A and B are shown apart, each in its own frame.
Chain A
């Protein structure tokens, strides 16, 4: 969200807040105009909309990813590629790489270094094909006053000429990939689960959109596509993973996957790569020699809301 846009609207907080959340009154009104015709179509309309309006029969009967055979996965991937090609006019890679052996991904964020520039937020949006309208952003950078760590007094609505601001520090928050994750526990259809390498994923084609997981997550790690996601064709990232950044549909939940499409190929998540001060660290918790393991062993680390026993694999630390 650019500064000018915010100022134009005169509603800084509200505008930012519509990120992936809800409609602005204007949007709704506009849509109401377009669709007034639809209003009295009746029961047949409901059925037709439910069955055919948004999906093909193959999509309708598509199985949960974890129950698919190899052949079914291949077929589904081909179908998705064709769909995306039609929608964005580009050839997509829809990866289905499985977890790497003896790997448990973990993350650490250096609070001493973070300057609150939000580059990670924007890099994440681009890498992970988040909807631009309505906006969804997986990472929220919270600003705190020095000497305070009270979430209720923090804010994401800061827009200075220059960061970092005097007298403040920043805590970026995204899905914490909890080892004891309440979100996967509550899902009534197992549309979301923890992979063997520790990544908490969602099968977008299996989610029924009940939003129970969003109520259960203590970190605002989950976002809902309240409308058909909009990604400009020239901005869309074609290197995707089935359980990660492939384009989503409306009325399903999505979340940070540690950039599963990258990390399963040995690359770093986009937010780690883009951070200009190197505040973000990522690696294999099972390897005692990895950078992440060394940080946990040698630095002062903590995890958010540890009293809830969610056991995040996302650590915060102080480098000095």
Chain B
């Protein structure tokens, strides 16, 4: 074990100049983020743009988006383990590394949003009180931590065997792999239910919310994975077949089609019935009572999503890396807006007694968020730096490290 840590540490410390630039850049961003967070801790959430009208903002928006990214790891597990779809199998572990980083960011975003993180121990069953089965937030904490465990345990086990140059005992690990599939669905569904269950907020209180969450998660998460694999392939000897990437892109097209269909259904219901439940949607897409800070954002998201959908739908553009990558970037931004601020903020507008009170994140919120994203990116970088050599068989118990 000691040998492993020494070897891993050496691999993390050594790298190309570009690697050092990247890590130092992330560390600076993290330091700034921590500085901003210290200030938030000292003065209270007053340094954020949140109010008693719009009581959740950028943090919870990012949280929601990242739960989707984490859940998307199933997309790789299903075909890879169950159908033994060759090309994907090699790379599933990297997908799970992405899931782990995304989950860490989720937990940090929730913590950043908490007014009293010093009392987070109140959430620990036994020591504190976790309000189960009633609180959806309680459930979300359970399923997120369970998912984090699974995504650490499964690749951990496989890599441990690879490191020790022993075969994987599939009988032992398969039940965990099977379990992780419904679990991935559950983290995203439970997160949707946090909002979905609130009758006070008609914008969220629609049964379509959970399915839409899943559909959009299957767009953004895999898009990130396509980009990540290309980077990994470029910078290491790790091999990923084009075929696998195109397969993932195909799945994104299907998920996006479902997402757009559900959006259309939502629009029809609200527009045709034309009740007061239309107001949040109005606020989001055209503005309400002269206020419409989110309008340009949501139309950007809408346009990006449509363009990306077309790119992924047509085999010609899907199979060209230039267009494929443009599509991925567009879809990540599009879903980030739609599922982040575009979902959270209109839930609060108009407020429950009818007022239209807008929200905009402050610099502090933006810096803290960038800090958390940087911690996530650094985590991912470090994990990949260790596990890729193991996957490649370059880093095992018997490898000699240069002194």
Contacts and interface: CB of A to CB of B under 8 A. Distances in A.
Q: Do A and B bind? A: yes
Nearest to B110: A210
Contacts of A23: 46-47
A186 B136 contact: yes
Contacts of B116: 207-209, 251-252
A41 interface: yes
Given A22-B50, A151-B353, A46 B45 contact: no
A132 B130 CA distance: 33
A40 B119 CA distance: 24
Contacts of B34: 42-43, 45-46
Interface residues of B, number: 62
A251 B353 contact: no
B42 A53 contact: yes
B42 A215 contact: no
Interface in A1-53: 17-23, 27-28, 31, 35, 38-43, 45-46, 49-51, 53
Contact of B115 (A150, A209, A223): A209
A187 to B, nearest CB: 6
B353 A142 contact: yes
A31 B46 CA distance: 10
B271 interface: no
A287 B36 CA distance: 55
Given A46-B37, A55-B118, A190-B131, A216 B123 contact: no
B340 to A, nearest CB: 16
B263 interface: no
B115 A210 contact: yes
Interface residues of A, number: 74
B362 interface: yes
B176 interface: no
B49 interface: yes
A250 B31 CA distance: 25
Contacts of B123: 188-189, 208
By CB atoms of chain B within 10 A, which of A40, A142, A208 has the most? A208
Contacts of A20: 52
A134 interface: yes
Contacts of A55: 118
A134 B46 contact: yes
A252 B334 CA distance: 34
A64 interface: yes
Nearest to B49: A22
A138 to B, nearest CB: 11
A64 B130 CA distance: 12
